[in-house]
Amino acid sequence: MVGGGMTTAQRPTLEAVARRAGVSRATVSRVVNGSTTVAEDIQEAVRRAVAELGYVPNLAARTLVTQRTDSIALIMPEAATRVFSDDQVFPGIIQGVSQELEAADKQLVLMLAGSAAGHHRVERYALGRHVDGVLFASLHGADPLPGTLARAGIPAVCSGRPLDDSVPYVDVDHLGGVSRAVAYLLDAGRQRIATIAGPQDMVAGIERLAGYRDTLVAAGHPPLVAVGDFTRESGAVAMRQLLDQHPDLDAVFAASDLMAHGALRTLREAGRRVPEDVAIIGFDDIEMAAYTDPPLTTVRQPIRQIGREMTRLLLRLAAGQPIDRAVILPTELIVRDSA
């Protein structure tokens, strides 16, 4: 047995506080947990004893009896490279979740489940009820895990509609945002509008492509599609592909700012001026979008709010309160110089 720190200055227990305050353990517990059925002067005495001893409740002991852990897990099932590219989606979600949990005085347990082993680990952990609920950030395809947990009675919430519709989710209005972007290009008189779509096994990728296609077809234009995976590199590659196949294109809607950035580089290399020759609109409105050359016109999505709403949903779900099956947040077209 490897020993812990040497200075394990015996932490005071409920018992110690009770003795000092001259009351029973039960009463101290009542005061600590905010029960009102304790006489004012006794509450005062207990609080003083708590302060003097520097008492902090042992969470493990509490969890053992209450069956609540007061912590929730945030699962990031993506491949590591994507999770931590600089699209700021995941940091944004973490931040939103964190804010909301702090308000609820709960802890955030972060789990990256990129590998198959990691995936299994997450399942074990959640099924083992080591957390009160689970948040899934951006699923790939029809991941069965949320459904499995939901069936096991473990509260779970996704960002983005799960393909099997097994759990409540929070998402943004992809279609609305994209159609506004495409309409903006059409209004500006663009004739040959292409798209760099996101991965088609993710809801965000699917919906943004659908929004593009619908709007364009409704206006009587043919869709011109290349598919990327939301990364810069894939955007650069897709752009080259589009230029080869449709040299006459005069606008591009990229399903992420990162892909738009990659496309920008390809356009520059190909000698096309933006926005004169080719207009380009991205999606996300990450911080970098204002710093590209030219600054990027893009569809803003409220990322932090996604995290916050997911957390609220989960907490209500865990508390057995009624909830909406879905929360859809608005998107907004931010016009800069690239279109």
Give me the residues that bind DNA (CB under 7 A), please.
Answer: 1, 11, 13-15, 22-27, 29-30, 32-33, 37-39, 42, 55, 57-58, 61-62, 64-66
Least distance in angstroms from the C-beta of 334 to its own copies: 17
Buried (b) or exposed (e) across 64-87, using 16+ Cβ within 10 A?
A: eeeeebebbbbbbbbeeebbebeb
Q: Using the rule CB under 8 A, give the single segment among 145-153, 193-201, 221-229, 274-282 that binds its own copies.
A: 145-153
47 makes contact with its own copies (CB under 8 A) = no
The listed partner (its own copies, DNA, none) that binds 33, CB under 5 to 8 Å by sort, is DNA
Based on the shown chain and the rule CB under 8 A, indicate whether residue 282 belongs to the binding site for its own copies.
Answer: no
Nearer to DNA (CB atom), residue 104 or residue 270: 104
Per-residue three-class SS string for 77-142: CCCHHHHCCCCCHHHHHHHHHHHHHHHHCCEEEEEECCCHHHHHHHHHHHHCCCCCCEEECCCCCC
Strand order in the sheet with 224-227: 224-227, 193-197, 251-254, 279-284, 297-300, 332-334
Give me the phi and psi of 78, to 5 degrees please.
-75, 160
Q: Answer yes or no whether residue 118 interacts with its own copies by CB under 8 A.
A: yes
Query: Phi and psi dihedrals of 157, rounded to 5?
Result: -140, 140
CA 154/CA 59 separation, integer angstroms: 20
Q: Does 109 bind its own copies (CB under 8 A)?
A: yes
Q: How many Å apart are CA 257 and CA 287, to the nearest integer?
A: 10
Cα(147)–Cα(166) distance, rounded to whole angstroms?
A: 5
Q: Does 56 bind its own copies (CB under 8 A)?
A: yes
And the tokens for 249? 């294109």
Minimal distance, residue 106 CB to DNA, in Å: 15
| 172: nearest Cα among 228, 96, 234, 101 | 96
What part of residues 66-85 is at the interface with its own copies (CB under 8 A)?
A: 67-69, 71, 80, 83-85
One residue of 224, 260, 318, 327 binding its own copies per CB under 8 A: 318
Query: 33 vs 81, which CB is nearer to DNA?
Result: 33
Residue 322, binding choice from its own copies, DNA, none, Cβ under 5 to 8 Å by partner class: none
152/219 with CB nearer its own copies:
152
26 binds, among its own copies, DNA, none (CB under 5 to 8 A by kind): DNA
| 237 near its own copies, rule: CB under 8 A | no
Give which of its own copies, DNA, none residue 38 binds (C-beta under 5 to 8 Å, depending on kind): DNA
Residue 256 binds its own copies, judged by CB under 8 A = no
Binding of its own copies by 63 (CB under 8 A): yes
Residue 31: what residue type?
Answer: V
Which of its own copies, DNA, none binds 42 (CB below 5-8 Å, type-dependent)?
DNA
SS3 35: coil
Candidates 36-44, 87-95, 160-168, 216-224 — which segment interacts with its own copies by CB under 8 A? Answer: 87-95
What is the distance between the alpha carbons of residues 248 and 299, in angstroms, rounded to a whole number?
A: 25
**Measured from the CB of residue 128, what is the shortest distance to DNA in angstroms?**
9
Using the rule CB under 8 A, is 51 a contact of its own copies? no
The two tokens of residue 317 are 């779900």
Helix 174-187, helix 203-218: angle, nearest 10: 40
